[in-house]
Structure 1
């Protein structure tokens, strides 16, 4: 989970269709005077998407009050990752949450379907440095030695929730927020995420086609601007739940 890039000025309002407004409003899973949390579907870019399709950042104009700014993204999720994404409704809330995230006070929990079967050991930590590698307009992350000049520290904790002979459902907790971190770390222990063609993930599991990257941001805990800690959860999306059922993996 990464912070969105800083912008120098508030972008101009975006005109949205009634269907787009209805869509983004249907994604809301929590709201109070300070924050707005949504359950982002897979396939929707958080920010900076290409083409004519609006990004989630642009769809947030559906919540803007007349003459006021729209909610601000506090972090991003990869386009093909579903789950909890947090926005701030005011500048003070954005500043507070941004500082809290940079101080590593956010706790993120993901779920992923991997193959083949459970990792060995079934729970543990992957702490392997990563580096960015670009090919044309595409960017990748690669594992690398700690002394590589472009190495970035990266740490992921994982545990197996359920498994069978050919797949497993894992719970993932990243301690750092590098691009594609979970995807590359799991591939590095020979358990790539299903549907992740970029990093070697299977496109079918147990004869069941996988429709997309099987990675879901299921929960987010963070300090709230009014005090205390909030935990927001997003239910497993139907497409991922259908794959779990089809391949016989139980979801706790």
Structure 2
């Protein structure tokens, strides 16, 4: 952690040691975190006049800093403070023992930089209108002996279950946010959908935008003004023409993307009445809850290596697979990296080249067989 900035005697040069949590951030960002009363203009002036230094060298606001470096900061400047009404600080109510035990029971991975939880269906990721209980409101229960409260780095819909990644430090939050925005994090979802797609392994590329009149609560395919959206799907098992079990990989991160895309190709996710209407509810012993589960997440770890974690299915989803005669073991047969490789231009070229090589070998074998005959 960065040395806590204290208030030295007026006119005294200040020195701070960059903490582990600030490793890799820009210098101007460090000032926002630790000396928020120092404006960007002041920081820029200190840099221009050589008063701002990192390990004795002149620094600029855009320099990236590293843990352990010494920052030399000029004396604080008195800045007129406008008179404002005092802000009312709304502290979060302390969690009950049951709430703390509940959020901790969801942990499926933890280390110094991250938690991964298996979010149950029905629990929102963040609060909103008429939403009092949510993951964000329970994160105090995962603070343990750390000075930092865990941070959300992505979201799952309220009725979607599965892998949810939480950062334990600001450095980890920045690292994971970059991984999600640059699409280097790989996410695999499982879903039950109504009917069976005619193409077993395909890519859905349909732009998505907010549906007018829904107040932003519902999305739809919008070919004129929607944002680009891509989803790869693969059929794992089918139950006649009634339903099938699919693997989904989002290559973009639009709101409700998987739900909108599957409904758009005529195969809504089972239990998703918002986008599938009455067609998404199957008769018999199949639950009416939504069957969309974030099965797996693979992302680079801030300290090196990879977090590759799988979340078990919620009871209603597992029971539906069983009732439809599906074998859960078949869902994880295709490695996530193989799917990623195939979808790149280089991966496609390699796949075509390998198929051509196999075809040549087959023809050579046929010719040898005919010569022997």
Q: Same fold (TM over 0.5)?
A: yes
Residue in structure 2 matching 1:130, options 204, 208, 215: 208
Residues 216 and 189 (structure 1), Cα distance of their counterparts in 2 relative to 1, 3 Å cut: same
The whole-number CA distance in structure 2 between the counterparts of 1:93 and 1:76 is 16
Measured in 1, the distance between the counterparts of 2:155 and 2:306 equals 20
Partner of 1:21: 100
- Stretches of structure 2 that go unaligned for 5 or more consecutive residues are 1-31, 34-88, 331-373
Higher alpha-carbon deviation: 182-191 or 206-215? 206-215
- The farther-off stretch of 130-139 and 95-104 is 130-139
Q: Deviations over 1:98-128 (max 9, x none)?
A: 1222111110000000012x21101110001
> Partner of 1:69: helix, strand, or coil?
coil
Q: Is the 8 A contact 1:157 1:173 kept in 2?
A: yes
- Tell me, yes or no, if the aligned pair for 1:222 and 1:231 is still in contact at 8 Å: yes
Unaligned runs of 5+ in 1: 1-7
Q: Take 2:214 and 2:120, find their aligned partners in 1: how far apart are those partners?
A: 27
Q: Which residue of 1 aligns with 2:294?
A: 217
Equivalent residue in structure 2 for 1:86, among 151, 156, 165: 165
CA contact (8 A) 1:131 1:143 kept: yes
2:218 partner SS? strand
Mapped to 1, the partners of 2:202 and 2:126 lie a distance apart of 32
For residue 307 of structure 2, what is the aligned residue in structure 1? 230
Greater fraction strand: 1
Query: Where does residue 361 of structure 2 map in the other structure?
Result: none
Following superposition, the deviation at residue 11 of structure 1 comes to 7.7
TM-score, normalisation: structure 1 = 0.89
Verify the 8 A CA contact 2:162 2:294 in the aligned structure 1.
yes
Secondary structure at the aligned position of 1:139 is classed as coil
Q: How many residues align?
A: 241
Query: Which structure features the higher share of helix residues?
Result: 2
Q: Are the structure 2 counterparts of residues 120 and 203 from structure 1 closer, same or farther at C-alpha, using a change threshold of 3 Å?
A: closer
- What's the secondary structure of 1:243's corresponding residue? helix
Match of 1:142 among 211, 214, 220: 220
Kindly report the root-mean-square deviation, in angstroms, between the aligned alpha carbons of the 2 structures.
Answer: 2.1
Q: In the aligned structure 2, how far is the partner of 1:155 from the partner of 1:88?
A: 26
Q: Which residue of 2 aligns with 1:189?
A: 265
Distance of aligned partners of 1:26 and 1:11 in 2 relative to their CA distance in 1, 3 Å threshold: farther
- For the residues of structure 2 that align with 1:52 and 1:192, how far apart are their CA atoms? 26
Question: In the alignment, which residue of structure 2 is the partner of 1:152?
Answer: 227
Contact 1:14–1:58 (CA<8 Å) still a contact in 2? no
Task: Specify the alignment match of 1:4 in structure 2.
Answer: none
Higher deviation after alignment, 97-106 or 49-58: 49-58
Alignment-derived partner of residue 34 in structure 1? 113
The within-5 A match list for 1:156-171 is 156-165=231-240, 166-171=242-247
Which stretches of structure 1, 4 residues or longer, exceed 4 Å deviation after superposition? 8-11
Shift of 1:62: 0.5
TM (norm. structure 2) is 0.61
Cross-structure match for 2:284: 207
* Residues 56, 221 of structure 1: alpha-carbon distance in 2 compared, 3 angstrom cutoff: same
Answer whether contact 2:210 2:216 (CA < 8 A) is retained.
Answer: no
User: Does the alignment pair 1:175 with 2:251?
Assistant: yes
Secondary structure of 2:209 counterpart: strand
Task: State yes or no: 1:114 paired with 2:114.
Answer: no
